[in-house]
Amino acid sequence: MSAPAYPPSLPLTPVSGPVRAGVTLPGSKSITNRALLLAALADGESRLHAPLHSEDTLYMTQALRQLGGAIAETPEGDLVIQGRGGAFDAPSQPLFIGNSGTTVRFLTAAACLTPPGADVVLDGVARMRERPIRDLLGALLTLGVDAESLNGHGCPPVRVRGGGLPGGACRLRGDVSSQFLSALLQVAPYARRDVQIEIVGDLVSKPYVDITQAVMRVFGVECVNEGYRRLSVRASQRYQGRDYAVEADASNASYFLAAAAVTGGTVTLENLGSDSIQGDARFADVLERMGCRVTRGPQITLTGPQRLRAIDADMEAIPDTAQTLAVVCAFADGPSRLAGLTSLRVKETDRVQAITKELPKLGVGVEEGRDSWVIVPPADRRLHGAAIDTYEDHRMAMSFAVAGLRVPGIVIRDPGCVAKTFPDFWGRWEEAFGHE
């Protein structure tokens, strides 16, 4: 699926009153990339229903094909994957993964399942070469895999030697990215010995590990999780091909829920409910604390209040919604404090710094801490327009779309960056809110 063509900058037009919309969301990026890898490793054929088609999932699909995976798209947009039975081919060229964090981390671990002597190189864009992967490489070394950062600075490009995963016990820091842990868990069934992973320090973004375990379970593999302190996977388990319906993306749902919150309107997520396996579905709970009314069931409906309350929130468990909440807090009735932002420093951009630079353009005060913001709305509650830089970060663009519903004169620079996880975001945004 090709992304729509967008201009270099996109002016936004505020709505005239509270929004009213039902929204159908694309599939979850986090779930799609996990399911793609597990289906490629599985015995037999899998079919992924309603997967996400975006830059991030395309990088994963292309890389799996380089590793010998047979992946076909149906006319309906489903993906049919022929499982490789736990073994990949040696690629003839390096795997280019753009700026997809899930792809580089998951496939760095999976690359050891290529033949003995194969060298798999994974590389990406300039920003990817600044994103840490040292802790994952260290854990792989402990588990018997020959893996290294080619530039010696703990970031891609990386080289992984094939020959399988010996297994055993390792220790892994938990305070940088949960994707390292997810990467190890997903390949662990194909180790020669059971794999035990001890988490050092506090594990960030635990809900994403929950997603990993849930998808592994659907494909037939169990993981023992002892309070996120020690996790283990029994060797000789195997993924089994199956039909799997990908949930709608809860991270991308946050912008539509925020639209209702800041306008005092109502939005219904028509294909995402309270039984979601994604932690970011809890974003509705955060907005409820700010005065929104939430109805939960097979669908989630949120209605914004006349006046949003300020909030003190720890976003460590749902970091991909932190920028959305920062923009919502610009419309609250006083200063808000958002903490637990450490992992945002190593995302598509330094998201803590990016919000600190861009929100003040609207007249909003931002006090930046090491892992926190204090968001201070203007005393007269009047925000003004500005051109917003997005730093090649899809979540910057979509978060400030929320402000554009209320504030005249907002222009989004590089609106096409949404292609990373939500290629038709602007079309769906216009469909939902363009005629209020």
Q: Where are the beta strands (DSSP E) in 217-286?
A: 223-226, 230-233, 243-245, 266-269
Q: What is the Cα–Cα distance from 413 to 357, expressed in whole angstroms?
A: 14
Q: Are residues 283 and 324 in contact, defined by beta-carbon separation less than 8 angstroms?
A: yes
| Amino acid sitting at position 267 | V
Residue 263 to residue 305: CA distance in whole angstroms:
8
Cα–Cα distance measured from residue 194 to residue 191, given in angstroms and rounded to the nearest whole number: 7
d(CA 65, CA 254): 32
**Angstrom distances, CA of residue 237 to CA of 23, 57, 184, 314, 386:** 39, 26, 14, 37, 54
SS3 labels along 285-308: HHHHHCCCEEECCCCEEEECCCCE
Residue in this structure with the two tokens 């509650």, named with its chain if needed: 381
Q: Which of 320, 389, 393, 414 is catalytic?
A: 320
- Please give the structure tokens belonging to residue 206: 């635990």
* Residues with Cβ within 8 Å of residue 379, at least 6 apart in sequence: none
| 186 closest CA partner among 155, 165, 159 | 165
Closest CA to 422 of 336, 343, 320, 329: 320
Residue 22 has a CB neighbour count (10 Å cut-off) of 14
| Residues 259 and 433: beta-carbon distance below 8 Å | yes
Q: In what order do the strands lie in the sheet with 195-200?
A: 168-173, 195-200, 230-233, 223-226
Taking alpha carbons only, the member of 372, 380, 383, 418 closest to residue 398 is 418
Q: What's the alpha-carbon Rg for the chain, to the nearest Å?
A: 21
Contacts of 211 (CB under 8 A, 6+ apart): 30, 31, 34, 182, 277, 278, 279
320 is catalytic: yes
Cα–Cα dist 182/315, whole Å:
20
Name the residue among 174, 173, 213 with its Cα closest to residue 317.
Answer: 174
Tell me the catalytic residues. 320
